[in-house]
Amino acid sequence: MVNVVICDDHQVVLAGLNLIFSKCEEIRVVGIFQECSKLVEFLHSDNEHRPDVVVIDAQLGQGQSGLDAPKMYQGSQKLRWFLLSSFVDKYLVYKSRINGFAGCISKEVSAEFIINSVVQPSDKFITYPKIDDNFTAQFENIHNAISLLTKRELEIIQVISSGMSSKKCAEELHISVLTLETHKKNIFRKFEIKSISELMRIVVDFKLV
């Protein structure tokens, strides 16, 4: 039996998920919440049926983000977290992975898919719709590269993204063109890329600016 907690600020979504899970004999819904703070409070409490899985909306009301829930919890019990969203893109997949989620799933998913995701533990990160294999394979490298970027390199990426010429970019940053090119080489090396177009794809996918 898998104990599941649901958190979404829309009553209709909560009712729908509860109905879907109630039809599976292997799933027991042990908590339903509309606020992230109430969910975290429940997870820390001494409950008769300890939850195994949390299914939470990416965007809750009052500016709350479901993405932050695992960090807010920080409890000793190991939970599998699934993020639900009306719109799943590469950036949301990236953020959910680094925040400790087991999957990032569109609300357009079938009932069968979400039931299988909850019931069958997997070492693989679960996404729906499926993100292209290239992105999945490169995820760790790109994530590590982003963590290695300096504040100055992030500023340079922002200016380069504006589409200005190298001369204009250098003037904007108050550095020489030669210094700009040196920074670009360092950025390219960290991302293991060779062109501005490749850098721009990373900028868009990971919302670096």
Local confidence band at 116 (pLDDT 50, 70, 90 cut-offs): very high
pTM of the model: 0.77
**Same fold across 2-131 and 134-206:** no
Taking 80 as the threshold, does the pLDDT of residue 132 lie above it? no
Lowest-confidence segment of 80-89, 100-109, 127-136, 192-201 by average pLDDT: 127-136
Domain extent listing, the chain: 2-131, 134-206
What secondary structure letter does DSSP report for 152?
Answer: H
Task: Tell me the average pLDDT across 120-143.
Answer: 81
- Out of 1.10.540.10, 3.30.200.20, 1.10.10.10, 2.30.110.10, select the CATH number for domain 134-206: 1.10.10.10
Rounded Cα gap, residues 122 and 29, in angstroms: 20
Dmax of the chain from CA atoms? Answer: 67
Rounded Cα gap, residues 51 and 145, in angstroms: 35
Q: What percent of the chain has pLDDT over 90?
A: 69
Task: Tell me the average pLDDT across 126-146.
Answer: 81
Local confidence band at 122 (pLDDT 50, 70, 90 cut-offs): confident
The three-state secondary structure class of 105 is strand
The three-state secondary structure class of 126 is strand
How many whole angstroms from its chain centre is CA 82?
10
What is the topology classification, in CATH, of domain 2-131? Rossmann fold (3.40.50)
